[in-house]
Amino acid sequence: MAGTKILLKKGRDESLRRFHPWVFSGAVARVEGAEPAEGDVVAVYSAAGECLGCGHYQVGSITVRMLAFGSPALLPDFWEERLRAALEARKAFGLHGSAATNCYRLVHGEGDGLPGLIIDFYAGVCVLQAHSAGMFRSRERIAAALQKVYGEPLLAVYDKSAATAPFKAGLELADGYLWRALELESGAATMPEFVLENGHKFAVDWENGQKTGFFLDQRENRALVERYAKGRRVLNLFCYTGGFSIYALAGGALSVDSVDSSTRAMEMTDRNVALLQADAKKEPLAPHISHCCDALDFLHGAPEGQYDLMIVDPPAFAKHRGAIPNALRAYRRLNADAIAKVAPGGFVFTFSCSQAVEKQAFTLAVFSAAAETGRRVKILARLGQPADHAINIYHPEGEYLKGLLLYVE
């Protein structure tokens, strides 16, 4: 709402002066001007009346997500400028324009100065997810800015915010295309059948799949699995569409078992294995078996020593701070089972994507799991998210993916 001011309590502006992008409800003294609706751009002022910046207003513990510092309103070219900066960063990271990889995260919320917004790029299609009312209400402007930033290489912009935008904000939530190129409408061009990641082909279902269709944040960790897979029997738990499995097969694994409780995920895994087999041509792949069942039950029932390399990449066990104790217990049980079952001289790649669980707490849970088994365990590497899932140095909360590569004697 133009002219709406959020005034902070005395002494509650320090985090904004350090460019942290959140204004918590407890820091707000009062609202001046018209009562803002959720998603409005509001100006934020210190108790002394100094303009600290502006951002999207929302009801909840985070009252304002800051978009610009020092200015009471967004400039006319704000969206284009911010998206262009994000694309230039992906060029600098060696992602945009790569012959081997044509899928990446263009916008990672606070990491790219756009709190509440995720945009993933899949071979010409941008998939947008709004996690705030402000970003949802801005999606048409975002789609228009994407067309200017990408130009002809952009085929479509798909909005997949129905499951992520705040449902209590009174928004009309429905997934769908915000824009398609004329070539698609006329039939002169088609949607990509697959994307490339480090030269490997993956089918991506951004309309019906989890998140935006593919877990782009594990790209570098998948490549690490490929390096370790040769001559090993691999178990990929919570495999989703088989990303780690494809890399393991490409790396020369003796066998790969992929496990997920989703029938749709296992169908996509089999499709991706078929794409890899087609590229392998005369060289047959190692045996691959898809298991559509509960990953915890499968691991618990697996014989000791059956696998030389395990990938343990569960969904977020803690989506809020209140769930942390239960999540840490779940991580401990899961990792104890994996460490106990992996063959001597084997490897365990274990992860947590729970933003609420801090890196040290996750490491301690895995340490407790290892101690419970009594086996000798070494940490070979600490793993995390890639450069396109950028972490704003002023917003350390953006570091959500954490992992360990373990060697078990």
Measure the CA–CA gap between 384 and 350, rounded to whole angstroms: 11
Measure the CA–CA gap between 94 and 111, rounded to whole angstroms: 18
Give the 3-state secondary structure of 64-111.
EEEEEECCCCCCCCHHHHHHHHHHHHHHHCCCCCCCCCCEEEEEEHHH
Q: Which of 103, 126, 239, 353 is catalytic?
A: 353
Measure the CA–CA gap between 42 and 30, rounded to whole angstroms: 13
353 in catalytic set: yes
Residues marked active site are found at: 353
